[in-house]
């Protein structure tokens, strides 16, 4: 059963090893957890629905509660405290595009706002209903989860937009193919959600981001049905696919997605190397990608993340042996861990591995084989469960991600980490709170890479104070990112949390064009208002929901 107030399957109860607990206590102090609200208590707070009855719409309190929030830290705090503040008035479960079209007509007749819902994994406030007079209809695509067509000759597959990652891969693998899109949210996130938020998978070096994989599809809008043909390329004006990619429900509801698939690889393996310091590690990663070494994935952890990962791994005896060996090779304090994958035919993988090992050696890297790489692959989708473990111990954890050009990577990483490390110095009555901050580079391009930073801090003595700590860290760092040549989002989308920072990246004319596009498809601004684009004067709703969506 899926957790109603957290991530994933509630039967999965991860335990932080003792070495990990001691590590955090030493760096940010002993913590005390906040009390969790019960589902029964929350259900008593759900107000009556303002939507009329409809056979496809569930208006029960529990279904509305389970679709009221995503997975951002403010969402987490709202769910754990039970203070949701706003709920959708109903949750629709269409099975076909015709059902979606009917639901849009129903919402228009009811004066309702419409929120598309995929896997509910948003960490930027995409699916949260705004407070206001209009009722809110959340449209879950969960029943639209099948492979509809596979064109083997063209290597194109068409799915219902609500198909989650495991079902995408299972249905393709049965036919000998893969999409190869593996975000960390793979267990729960959906194909339509990947398109709507411009997602990036862990093996994007081989398969590409979702914009390379998205070939066409069907979108139901308030103005009619938008069909995007699956052309391999076109010079016929602006690309309609690009209008839909990253649209976050503002233009319509994606119901069918055609994607470019690849035959299953013959072999695949994941490898680890360690470098003496961040300078040589980043130089090696840049050389690998600019040399176009045929890797399928590449991840580079800075010294603090490397230290943290080894502490959280458990098996202290084995870790001591590893560190002893690396120390003998003059890779000790300040060491950085690189994880990389090779995927394809035996010949392709052999060539890529040989080239990667050679480039690593040129930058004083120590190749350690596949043992740690296998551990990474086994746990690659389990990391979101770590939030549950930390929460039970009294720690809150969140992430920030961006992308920038190579000449700015070091500078921007330092700015982000410094701001987070010092962001709670005035907290706790002026005595200051420590924040544990670590970073990895997770997606690489010849021109630059993404920067993915995690920060852990102790919860305060109340939910309100804990949210205030998050706001101080999140908003100051987001402003710093966009004013220092970083994108506000490389892979998580904009949602409501990042919407205030989008104008810095897009500029006045760019924002004018995006607003015009949204109004062309949705003149009354019924579709996911407040997401991607902040509401403006004259919009039907211009007030944020309580509990974390305000950006003062």
In tens, the pLDDT along 163-194 reads 999 999 999 999 999 999 999 999 999 999 99
Helix axes 278-290, 406-422, angle to 10 degrees: 140
- Residue 127: φ, ψ to 5°: -110, 10
Q: Give kind and range of the element (H or E) at residue 114.
A: strand 113-117
Q: Confidence band (pLDDT; 50, 70, 90) for 274?
A: very high
pLDDT in tens, 283-339: 999 999 999 999 999 999 999 999 999 999 888 899 999 999 999 999 999 999 999
Residues in the chain: 552
Q: What is the pLDDT of residue 544?
A: 35
Q: What is the pLDDT of residue 542?
A: 38
Rounded average pLDDT over 48-66: 98
| Cβ(402)–Cβ(260) below 8 Å | no
Q: Confidence band (pLDDT; 50, 70, 90) for 432?
A: confident
d(CA 155, CA 231): 12
Of the candidates 536, 530, 529, the residue with the CA atom closest to the CA atom of residue 550: 530
Rounded average pLDDT over 240-247: 98
Tokens representing 30 are 């002993």
d(CA 103, CA 92): 8
pTM of the model: 0.95
Q: What is the pLDDT of residue 52?
A: 98
Of the candidates 191, 170, 192, the residue with the CA atom closest to the CA atom of residue 181: 191
Of the candidates 525, 524, 530, 527, the residue with the CA atom closest to the CA atom of residue 543: 530
d(CA 454, CA 435): 10
- What CA dihedral angle connects 135, 137, 100 and 117, to 10 degrees? 150
Specify the DSSP class assigned to residue 383. G
pLDDT at 85 over 60: yes
pLDDT at 537 over 60: no
């Amino acid at each position: 059963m899926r957790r109603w107030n957290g991530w994933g399957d509630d039967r999965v109860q991860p335990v932080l090893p003792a070495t990990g607990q001691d590590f955090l206590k030493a760096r940010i102090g002993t913590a005390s957890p906040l009390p969790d609200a019960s589902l029964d208590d929350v259900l008593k707070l759900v107000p009556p629905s303002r939507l009329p009855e409809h056979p496809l719409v569930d208006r029960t309190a529990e279904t509305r509660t389970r679709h009221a929030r995503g997975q951002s830290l403010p969402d987490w705090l709202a769910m754990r405290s039970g203070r949701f503040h706003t709920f959708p008035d109903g949750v629709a479960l269409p099975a076909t595009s015709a059902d979606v079209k009917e639901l849009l007509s129903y919402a228009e007749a009811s004066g309702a706002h419409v929120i598309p819902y995929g896997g509910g994994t948003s960490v930027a406030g995409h699916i949260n209903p705004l407070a206001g007079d209009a009722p809110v209809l959340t449209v879950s695509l969960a029943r639209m989860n099948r492979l509809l067509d596979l064109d083997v000759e063209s290597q194109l597959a068409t799915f219902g937009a609500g198909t989650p990652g495991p079902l995408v891969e299972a249905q393709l693998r049965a036919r000998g193919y893969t999409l190869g899109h593996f975000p960390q949210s793979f267990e729960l996130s959906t194909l339509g959600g990947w398109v709507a938020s411009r997602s990036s998978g862990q093996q994007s070096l081989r398969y590409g981001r979702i914009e390379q994989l998205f070939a066409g599809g069907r979108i139901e809008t308030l103005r009619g049905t938008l069909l995007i043909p699956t052309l391999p390329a076109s010079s016929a004006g602006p690309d309609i696919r690009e209008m839909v990619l990253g649209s976050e429900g503002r233009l319509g509801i994606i119901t069918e997605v055609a994607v470019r698939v690849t035959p299953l690889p013959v072999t695949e393996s994941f490898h680890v190397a360690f470098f003496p310091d961040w300078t040589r590690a980043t130089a090696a990663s840049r050389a690998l990608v600019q040399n176009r070494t045929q890797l399928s994935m590449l991840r580079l952890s800075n010294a603090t993340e490397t230290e943290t990962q080894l502490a959280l791994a458990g098996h202290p005896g084995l870790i001591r042996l590893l560190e002893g060996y690396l120390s003998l090779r003059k890779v000790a304090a300040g060491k950085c861990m690189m994880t990389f994958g090779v995927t394809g035919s035996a010949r392709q993988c052999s060539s890529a591995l040989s080239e990667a090992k050679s480039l690593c050696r040129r930058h004083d890297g120590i190749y350690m084989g596949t043992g740690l790489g296998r551990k990474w692959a086994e746990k690659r989708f389990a990391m979101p469960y770590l939030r549950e473990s930390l929460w039970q111990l009294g720690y809150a954890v969140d992430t920030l991600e961006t992308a920038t050009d190579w000449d700015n990577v070091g500078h921007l990483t330092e700015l982000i980490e410094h701001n987070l490390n010092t962001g709670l110095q005035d907290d706790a009555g002026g005595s200051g709170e420590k924040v544990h901050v670590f970073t990895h580079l997770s997606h690489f391009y010849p021109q630059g890479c993404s920067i993915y930073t995690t920060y852990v801090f102790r919860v305060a003595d109340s939910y309100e104070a804990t949210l205030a700590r998050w706001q101080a860290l999140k908003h100051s760092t987001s402003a710093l990112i966009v004013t220092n040549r970083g994108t506000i989002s490389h892979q998580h989308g904009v949602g409501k949390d990042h919407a205030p920072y989008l104008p810095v990246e897009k500029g006045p004319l760019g924002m004018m064009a995006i607003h015009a596009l949204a109004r062309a498809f949705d003149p009354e601004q019924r579709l996911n208002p407040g997401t991607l684009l902040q509401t403006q004067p004259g919009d039907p709703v211009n007030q944020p929901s309580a509990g974390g969506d305000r950006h003062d």
